[in-house]
Every structure is written in structure tokens, then in C-alpha cells.
Amino acid sequence: MRFRGIVKIELSRSLGQDDLKVLEEAIGEVSQSLVKGFRDPEDGGRILNWRSEDKFLVIEIESRRLRIDEAAMRVKNSLEESLGSRRRIGIRDIELEKALVEIDGEIRISTKLPFVKSIDASSERTTIHLDTLGEKDLKKPILLRLLRLLSEKELKARWGGKTEHWQLIKESRIKFATPLTKEDPNKVLEEAGLVKRFSIGQWLYTPLATYLMNMVREVFIKEVVVPLGFTEAIFPKIYPLEVGLKTGHLRGTINSMVFASLPKTYNIEEFEELTDYMYVVNEAPPEEVAKYLRYPDYFLCYAQCEPFYWFFGGELVDDSSIPVKWFDRSGPSFRWESGGIYGLERVIEFHRVEVVWLGKPEQVVQIRNELLKAYEKFMDEVLDLEWREAWVTPWYYEQSGAVEKVEEFDIDRPGTIDFELWLPYRGSREDRKSWLEVGNISIHGTKFTEPFRIRHNKGVTLWTGCSGFGSQRWLVAFLAQRGFDPEKWPPVLREYLSRNPPPEPVAMVTYPKTRTGRDELDRLIKFLRK
Ligand code: SER
Ligand code: ZN
């Protein structure tokens, strides 16, 4: 990225012959100020040429790492000091003219954005010409965000899809030299009628399916979440757009979010034309319904931890109130997965236990470490499965659309660890596709405490962390490795089964649909009632 622009300074008076020496010194000082703080002066800014004209000083500058807005302000501040102290010349005004940002490669950017005047793009280079900027503009966060956006786009263009990062941290020993089963539990659950497809990526979980899902979830809460001191809260499940703006989701994942609209009015009479039409024609055309709705003001629960940051947003916390350790399991999350939907593994509506915490950096890291240990024990001993964990591109970066090159990882810095379980029905352990991500655990640093302004009363930096346990996915992966026969399940689950008798299955004349399905159901019932 390179910047260029002309800084036009209006002085409090015209310069005379006797000011020239001081002026030349002042320009020298401007040059120095432009490289201040850069180890390699090439990274800073430099003066390409300058001239003085009556009351004006016109200085053309270019820079690499030093943003052009900051470069212009450095020019002003330096001149203010040198000319003010030595010649009592003040600075009336500053303008940045013909500013441009040059980026290697081709990036796409809209001319509708504020301050963007025009764009020249070729496959090698993109040049963004900016409007003339006054001092007020130079200090605006909008300009800062525009320049940040450009630098992210440049990074993205340079790294392409390569910013995705996956690095194995730990893996369990091989536990099933010969897999206990190679059955696809998604198929069994559907065929035996434990779940029925409601709509794309959405299922109805009959009491027996709900029982199985709750079983794994309850054991997780009992073995991992509660012993570590997390307490339950209930978070809302539809969020105002503003929340998604702050978390970054609206920027990064708008393509997979589900939105909600309120009706335009509460007065049912105003719907009469539509309600009469639906009565007579017995159809509900979405395009007609849309006419009676407001624009979408909400999106449906996406990451599930958003309301936690909102709750502490704008508040001052003190030492006695941190760390805060909560979890929410109160409702579904929604992700539109387009073509990727499969069984219960990849759905649009899913259930999750979301564990969240807030505290000082060392507290947040310690809680993550405790949680990590408890997860490992849960996978390795409690459920006794084949698992692995990896350091990945943090979900909150992926989900905010921001990019950064992932360097060597440091586990105590912000980042995400994914948990994956082996799905024998998919194939061998060596194939990446045979592993299912069932959960993750993250340290966010200040990614959310900053935009939501969560502050400590003594100014200590606050961090957050969160961890998601995808209920459907844990169940599927558990069944994929251990099958449906409780004889082959670990003791905790067998105990759960004996303490909590499973509910009756659903069987009707026409359900489950197929002969195989009915046989499957008989088999499952026999297993569970043993
Ligand atoms: N909120 C985190 C995520 O969306 C953990 O569930 O991945
Ligand atoms: Zn979260």
C-alpha cells in the first residue's frame, strides 16, 4: 500500500524573504517527523516537493506505512511548532488534496463510500483517489475506517483464501482399531423416525431424539460447565442489527445470517386485502406478505454470545465482579448453510451450549485453560472418544470479515481452538473430511470489550472468552463412534440411561416411513430398554 497527497497549509501571514531560512529548517523537521517511529525510514513518509505561495505552503508527500491522514497531521503539527515558536506564524487551515491510495493487485471498492472520488483498477494495481479532505475530515473515524478497510482488502487480495489456518495441537490415541460401527447416525435417526425433516436444515426432534441429545448435553454441563463455576443465564435469540454491527457479524457473515422483520402495523384491519386473499386462494405469496412487513431490523441468534457483550456494554466493572462466568443453553442458533446442509450435522437451526466469560487477561486465559482441560477429560475419559484439537483462524475474525496473517500461534494469546471428533462412517482418520468440528473455545482479547465499551473501574484491560458446544454434532459424533447399543457406551451414559428411562418412540401406521426404518426403530428400542 502506498499513499500520496498534497498537503496545503494556510498560514496566518504571507512569508517574506527573511522567513526562508526558518522555513527550510521547518521543512527539514517535517521530513523527520514523517519517519518518526519507523525502524525503517522507507516505511514512513517523505516529502516529494514543496513550494510556498503567499500565505500557502504546498507540500507533496508520499508514504508507505504511515497513513496519509496521519502524515498530513504530522506535517501540520510539525510546522505549527517550528514556525510558531520561531516566526510566530500560525496555521489557519490545512487541506489534503489529490490524496490517493495505491494497492498492489486488483481490489473491489465502491465509489459510493464516503471520501472515495474515483478508482483506477488494473490487475496489477488499484488506485483510489480521495476527495479533498479538511482538518475535520482528517480526524474523522469514518476516514480511519475507510483506510483500514482498504488495508484489509489489500491483505485479503494478497493472501486470498490462505488466511485459513489449522494446526494440530493434540490428538487422542486410537481407541477403535476396528471401529465399533460404520453406520451413519444421521440416516438411522431419520429412518427410524426419531427426527423428521421440518424444512431445509431444520428438524423436529421427537421425545426420544430429544432425550438422546439432552443426555449428552446434560452430562457435558454436569461434568464440565458446572464444576468450573459457570452459572446459567437466558440470552435473547433475536438481535437488533446494531448488535451485529458491533460484533462484526454483519460485515463478515451476512451471507449466512437469517433476518427477521416486524409487521408494519399492529392493526389487523390494515392486512385485510392480504388476509382475504389467503382465505380465498389458500396461498401465502411471500412477495405479498413482504409488503406488510418492515425492513429486517433483527437477525436471529448467530454466535449466541452476542447478548453477553451487550449486557456488559457501557458498564464499569470492578475487581469483585470479575471474572463473570455464565452459560446459555436456552434456544436455537441459525445459520443459513446454502448447499452445505447435511443430516443433523450441518443444519440451519441448531442447538448449542454457549459458555462465556469476562475478566482480566490472565483470568480469561486461566479460565480457558481450565475449560480446555475439562473438555479433554470429557472427550477422552467421560465419553471415551477419538478426538483432536487444533489451533484455527479465530472464528471472530472469520466472522467479522477481517483478515490478518496468522503467524506462529501462542496459545495464551487471543485465538480459537476447535474440537473435532472422528466420524468412522465417513472414512479413514487420515482424511480431513472424516472429522467433525463439534465445538470450539476462544479467547477474544478486546475484540468485543472495545466496541461494546466494557470497562474496568481502574482502567485495567478486560478480555472475553467463549466456547460453543453444538448439541446435535456431539450426539451425531458420539453415535458415529459408539453406535446405538448402550452396551458399548461409557459408564456415565449407561448410568444416565438407568436413572432416566427413555420416552416412548413414535410409531404409527405410516411412520416410520419404511420397513427398514421400522426395523431400525425396533432395534433401537430393544437396545435402550435392555
Ligand atoms: N460463539 C462461538 C461461535 O459462534 C462459539 O459458539 O463459534
Ligand atoms: Zn461465542
pLDDT tens figures, 80-102: 999 999 999 999 999 999 999 99
CB 351 within 8 A of CB 439: no
Q: Distance between CA atoms of 526 and 530, rounded to whole angstroms?
A: 6
Nearest atom (ligand 1) to Cα of 469:
6
pLDDT of residue 265: 98
C-alpha angle 191/194/200, rounded to 5°? 75
Q: Distance between CA atoms of 70 and 77, rounded to whole angstroms?
A: 10
Closest CA to 261 of 224, 218, 300: 300
Does the Cβ of 304 fall within 6 Å of ligand 1? yes
pLDDT of residue 407: 59
* pLDDT-derived band at 306, boundaries 50, 70, 90: very high
**Which of 395, 417, 437 has the most ligand 1 atoms within 8 A of CB, as the residue to mutate?**
395
- Asked about 337 being catalytic, the answer comes back as yes
Q: Of residues 250 and 160, which shows the higher confidence score?
A: 250
* pLDDT-derived band at 499, boundaries 50, 70, 90: very high
pLDDT of residue 401: 62
Cα-Cα-Cα-Cα torsion 404, 405, 406, 412, nearest 10 degrees, comes to -50
Does the Cβ of 468 fall within 6 Å of ligand 1? yes
pLDDT of residue 299: 98
Digit-coded pLDDT (tens) for 168-214: 999 999 999 999 999 999 999 999 999 999 999 999 999 999 999 99
pLDDT of residue 433: 95
Question: Which position has the grid cell 498537503?
Answer: 7
* pLDDT-derived band at 411, boundaries 50, 70, 90: confident
Q: In this model, does residue 409 exceed pLDDT 80? A: no
Q: What is the 3-state secondary structure (H, E, C) of 230-256?
A: CEECCCCCEEEHHHHHHHCHHHHCHHH
pLDDT of residue 338: 87
61 φ, ψ (degrees, to nearest 5): -125, 160
Digit-coded pLDDT (tens) for 119-137: 998 888 999 999 999 999 9
- Asked about 67 being catalytic, the answer comes back as no
Question: Which position has the grid cell 402495523?
Answer: 265
Q: Distance between CA atoms of 72 and 5, rounded to whole angstroms?
A: 9
* pLDDT-derived band at 246, boundaries 50, 70, 90: very high
Residue of minimum CA distance from atom 6 in ligand 1: 468
Please count the other Cβ atoms lying within 10 Å of the Cβ belonging to residue 48.
Answer: 12
Digit-coded pLDDT (tens) for 457-496: 999 999 999 999 999 999 999 999 999 999 999 999 999 9
pLDDT of residue 395: 76
What does DSSP say about strands 332-334 and 455-456: parallel, antiparallel, or unpaired? unpaired
Q: What average pLDDT score do residues 217-242 get?
A: 98
**Which of 337, 356, 466, 474 has the most ligand 1 atoms within 8 A of CB, as the residue to mutate?**
466
Q: In this model, does residue 402 exceed pLDDT 70? A: no
Does the Cβ of 181 fall within 6 Å of ligand 1? no
Digit-coded pLDDT (tens) for 335-384: 998 888 999 999 999 999 999 999 999 999 999 999 999 999 999 999 99
DSSP code of 330? S
Q: What average pLDDT score do residues 139-164 get?
A: 84
Q: What is the DSSP string of 140-201?
A: -HHHHHHHHHHHHHHHHHHHGGGG--EEEEEEPPP--SS-S----HHHHHHHTTSEEEEETT
Q: What is the DSSP string of 462-518?
A: -EEEEEEEEHHHHHHHHHHHH-S-GGGS-HHHHHHHHHSPPPPPP-BTTBSSSHHHH
User: What is the b/e burial string over 112-144, where b = at least 16 CB atoms within 10 angstroms of the residue's CB?
Assistant: eeebbeebeeeeeebebbbeebeeebbeeeebe
Give the orientation angle of helix 207-220 with respect to helix 491-499, to 10 degrees.
130
Question: Which position has the grid cell 458498564?
Answer: 315
**Which of 328, 418, 442, 448 has the most ligand 1 atoms within 8 A of CB, as the residue to mutate?**
442
DSSP code of 356? E
What residues sit around ligand 2, an ion, with C-beta below 5 angstroms?
A: 303, 305, 466
pLDDT of residue 5: 98
pLDDT of residue 103: 94
Q: What is the CATH number of domain 177-237+302-503?
A: 3.30.930.10
Digit-coded pLDDT (tens) for 443-461: 999 999 999 999 999 999 9
Q: Distance between CA atoms of 209 and 194, rounded to whole angstroms?
A: 5
Q: What is the domain partition of the chain in residue ranges?
A: 2-158, 177-237+302-503
pLDDT of residue 408: 67
Q: Distance between CA atoms of 467 and 458, rounded to whole angstroms?
A: 28
Could you tell me what percent of the chain has a pLDDT over 70?
97
Q: Is 71 left (phi over 0), alpha (psi -120 to 50) or beta?
A: alpha
Q: Which of 64-78, 98-112, 396-410, 474-488 has the lowest mean pLDDT?
A: 396-410
CA 398 to ligand 2 center in whole angstroms:
13
Q: Is 38 left (phi over 0), alpha (psi -120 to 50) or beta?
A: beta
- Asked about 440 being catalytic, the answer comes back as yes
Q: Distance between CA atoms of 413 and 369, rounded to whole angstroms?
A: 12
Q: Which of 305, 306, 345, 455 is catalytic?
A: 305
pLDDT of residue 21: 93
Q: Which ligand is nearest to the CA of 256?
A: 1
Q: Distance between CA atoms of 156 and 92, rounded to whole angstroms?
A: 40
pTM reported for the whole predicted model: 0.91
3-state class of 55 per DSSP? Answer: coil
* pLDDT-derived band at 404, boundaries 50, 70, 90: low
Q: Distance between CA atoms of 60 and 462, rounded to whole angstroms?
A: 42
Query: What is the C-alpha end-to-end distance of the chain, expressed in Å?
Result: 68
- Asked about 135 being catalytic, the answer comes back as no
User: Is the domain 2-158 a CATH 3.30.70.1920 member?
Assistant: yes
Nearest atom (ligand 1) to Cα of 304:
1
